[in-house]
Structure 1
Amino acid sequence: MNPWHDHAHVDIEEAGRALGHDFHTLTQIPKQADWPAAVCAGFDAAAHGHSRAHRPGPAHRRPHADRFTRKWLQLRLNAWRRQRAVANDVTPQLLRELDVTRCPVTREVLTHGTLQDTDASVDRLNNDAAYAASNLAVMSVRANRAKGALSFAQVMARAHAAEPSEGLTPTEWLRLAALMLGPCHATCPHDAPALPLCAPLPVHAVRLALQQVQRLFTEHCLRQAGKNRLLRDFSGACRSDAARLRLAALGHAVHEGLKHTEGHGLDDTRWDVWLQPAVMAALLRWREALSEAEWARVAALSGRLSQARRETPERLRLWQMPTRGFVPLHTGWA
């Protein structure tokens, strides 16, 4: 149950009761003293209904929730307390699909439930939008805490600094900026800067066309055969010899660059290939050789090759951007 969706009118009390109901029916977590009254009311109603419907016994014990269901419920509780909207496409299954073993920002192995900075957390990439599938990433508590309520521009400023700040190095800030780029420019993609794709993007997060291209080259250009296939795919979008030559130069630069990353292109360090100046320069030279019509074909092809879902105004409405991701204030709050 989750009555927080993209409708303008949200019953906040009902959302709290639905959350309490889910805590009772989906987990063995006892009612907590610090829960809001509406959540407690939903929990008590579910407990009362359960006791009337069933006799006590092993067959009617409350289920053990997996960590994704627990994380989903905790996310909704935290959002409820901060008046943040949670879209209906945020589910335990989504959190399972977003799950990663290493933080994309710090690259440390993620832990779970240890109350350490390495614990996994789910964060909104665009702080001015709701909890929605295409606006979420899993990262460490350390990275999440550093990000806080910072805007994309503020994160970029830290990435350009000479020294670490707030627990992250400039390169880690740049990785965070790469994650935030698409969601923070979802409604204004032409205003987005060209950044090195130095971190793996969340599976459902908004990706800009240039990022989609970078991702394909990173994943396919380590092997000669994969590089050649990708160049053949993109060459059809190039209408000039200059564009085709620059495309070939990009493929060569990424292929050679991947072999010189720390993991030789075989682990998360492969994304560092875009931190090599020659590789990023080759990408931009190819982009400059393409007309807008050619680039549109490249963008469409990169989406098909990645099996990407095109973001639509309907899905972006789930982000509640007119209220900066908050539940509409005129609905009231208990």
Structure 2
Amino acid sequence: MNEVSIEVAEDATEATASFIAECMSVGRESAAAGLRMDKKAPAAYRDGFLAYRGPRTSLTYFEGKLLSLRLSAVRRGMQVDQTVTAQLLERITDGRCPVTLERFRWGGGQSPRNPSVDRLVNEVSYRAGNICMLSQRANRAKAELSFEQVAQLAQAGAPHGELSAVEWMRLASLMYGAWARAFQQADPYLLPLAAIPGPGMFMSTSQVVQLLLTRHFGSGESSSVATQRWLEMTRQAECAEDMFLVLRDLLAAALAQERYAGDAWLHGAVFEAYVNWYRLCKHVVATEVETLLGEHQERVSDPLAKTEWPNTSRYQH
């Protein structure tokens, strides 16, 4: 056996030991929380569950959500990454689903509006940046679909399964940043920012530009300072100023009309104006925005933003 084979074998042994330890830990914590034993979970989980003799513990909503997520993961032969905590789950959870825009229902049962944790990229584990809180309905519709498959459904412009055409576009918008991160893609597509990403989610540069424009011109009145900054970049790209001004005015009008900011980018005229302007000014605008993002990450010193994900290139076709 050569050195590479030995290293692979050692890695596999460590992974197996880590998985067994996680199964037992989930079993013990489930028993402590007074949950019913899951007979379909791995044997190590059942061993940990049956061996527990300690006191009963009380879990907060998000602590219970995390334990449920860890159980779901081990049933699939996976582990939840240590970057996912109860605090992170609470941080990424808004009051409503970012795909359906329905308010979450926080009770038990199987309501389609109950919040559930979804992996945006199925080839990547449950880890910070790759999880999002969706409604049960949106999660069921996505299932094991890849970003490419969701994008095709979004482009079809018709309802499919449990989601409408607009909801498929919102889902594709949410998945794009994580997909680009996982497969090391350099922002190859231009998608409307149909869903405003929540905390802890990755975005492509073109999406960040849309988010900044949304923030700058979403008050109903064009910010003169912001306008001058965007016009400066437009001039540096040797692009006609009117191209940006048309985009600004269309976007501001759409944002004033829509209750949800992401819907403004689904106005055909708005997104067409954005595509026309961004394609001509990308070499200046993207560089400027990426520099600002880099400076921001250095200031906040967010370790999750710099964490390398496992190499998923082998999943590409």
- TM beyond 0.5: yes
Secondary structure of the corresponding residue to residue 288 of structure 1: helix
Structure 2: distance between partners of 1:321 and 1:193: 19
Q: What is the 5 A alignment of 1:57-136?
A: 62-112=56-106, 113-136=108-131
Aligned-partner Cα distance in 1 for 2:141–2:222: 38
Q: Aligned with 1:133: secondary structure? A: coil
Q: Structure 1 vs Structure 2: percent identity of aligned residues?
A: 30
> Following TM superposition, by how much is the alpha carbon of 1:108 offset from its aligned partner in structure 2, in angstroms?
1.5
TM-score (norm 2): 0.82
Give me the whole-angstrom Cα distance separating, in 1, the residues matched to 2:63 and 2:305: 28
Cα pair 2:187 2:204 within 8 Å, conserved:
no
For 1:96-153, what per-residue CA distance to the aligned partner results, in whole angstroms no more than 9, with x for missing partners? Answer: 0111211111111211323111111110111111111101111111111111111112
Which amino acid in the other structure matches residue 256 of structure 1? A
Per-residue deviation at 1:63?
3.1
Shift of 1:188: 3.4
Report what 1:203 is aligned to: 199
Higher relative contact order (CA 8 A, sep 6+): 1
Letter in 1 for 2:30: F
Q: 204, 210, 217: which is aligned to 1:221?
A: 217
Candidates 256, 260, 264, aligned match of 2:257: 260
Q: Which moved more, 1:183-192 or 1:169-178?
A: 183-192
CA distance in 2, matches of 1:173, 1:107: 12
Contact 1:142 1:167 in 2 (8 A): yes
Taking structure 1 as reference, are residues 63 and 236 closer, same or farther at Cα in structure 2, changes over 3 Å only?
Answer: farther
In the alignment, what sits opposite 1:16? 23
Find 2:274's aligned residue among 283, 296, 306.
283
Name the SS for the 1:275 alignment partner. Answer: coil
**Preserved contact between residue 170 and residue 194 of structure 2 (Cα < 8 Å):** yes
What SS does the aligned partner of 1:287 have?
Answer: helix
1: distance between equivalents of 2:157 and 2:245?
34
Could you tell me how far apart the structure 1 residues matched to 2:67 and 2:168 are?
29
Aligned to 1:273: 264
Closer, same or farther: CA 289–323 of 1 in aligned 2, 3 Å: closer
| Structure 1 residue 211 displacement after superposition | 0.8
Equivalenced residue count is: 297
Compute the RMSD of aligned alpha carbons: 2.9
Say if 1:243 and 1:89 are closer, same or farther in 2 by CA, change over 3 A.
farther
Report whether the alignment pairs 1:249 with 2:246. yes
Preserved CA contact (<8 Å) 2:237 2:283: no
Is 2:171 aligned against 1:165?
no
The structural deviation recorded for 1:171 is 1.2
